[in-house]
Amino acid sequence: MTGEEPLERNPHVPDSGRYWCYRCKAHNDFDHITWRSNDTYEKMSCVRCQASMFNPARTKPVMVGLLGFTLVALLFALALWRDYRGYVAGCLGFAAFSGLIGFMMLYYMNLWWSWSRFQRAKSAEQLEQEGRQYIVLIEKEQK
């Protein structure tokens, strides 16, 4: 009877609330790594390829915030350009910093969006079959 009941957690069905590996393009299991130096760092490391995984539902608001901040910092730089040129470099520095991280997140979110669009176009049976084959593949790899 095994292999006939539907998968409870199909790694190939997009779920923005679950951690996703951009390299494997799947909701793989992950190792939660935390370490302390000056700050506490944590990383969700894909059990299959060790890439850092991310949670689309949590990343999106941070990304929007950072890109919004970048825009505001750029507008400030523009507004200060004529009379307060001394502050412009600072504004541009902030904009560059938040922009860099924001666009990096945008890049990964884009990978997520295109994958989830692609997956949603498939039928439930197809996803089910893909998910099963994928799980078998991972089990083989881990041996």
Closest distance of CB 129 from Zn ion, Å: 21
11 vs 116: CA distance, rounded Å: 12
**Per-residue x/- track, 84-103, Zn ion (CB under 5 A):** --------------------
The nearer residue to Zn ion, 56 or 102, going by C-beta atoms, is 56
Nearer to Zn ion, 78 or 104 (CB): 104
In the set 7, 15, 18, 24, which binds Zn ion (CB under 5 A)?
A: 24
Size of the site for Zn ion (CB under 5 A): 7
Q: Is position 67 an interface residue for Zn ion (rule: CB under 5 A)?
A: no
Q: 7, 15, 18, 23: which one contacts Zn ion (CB under 5 A)?
A: 23
* Residues whose CB is less than 8 angstroms from the CB of residue 44 and which lie 6 or more positions away in sequence, other chains included: 19, 30, 31, 32, 33, 52, 53, 54, 55
Stretch that binds Zn ion, among 8-16, 42-50, 60-68, 114-122 (CB under 5 A): 42-50
Residues in the site for Zn ion, rule: CB under 5 A?
21, 23-24, 46, 48-49, 51
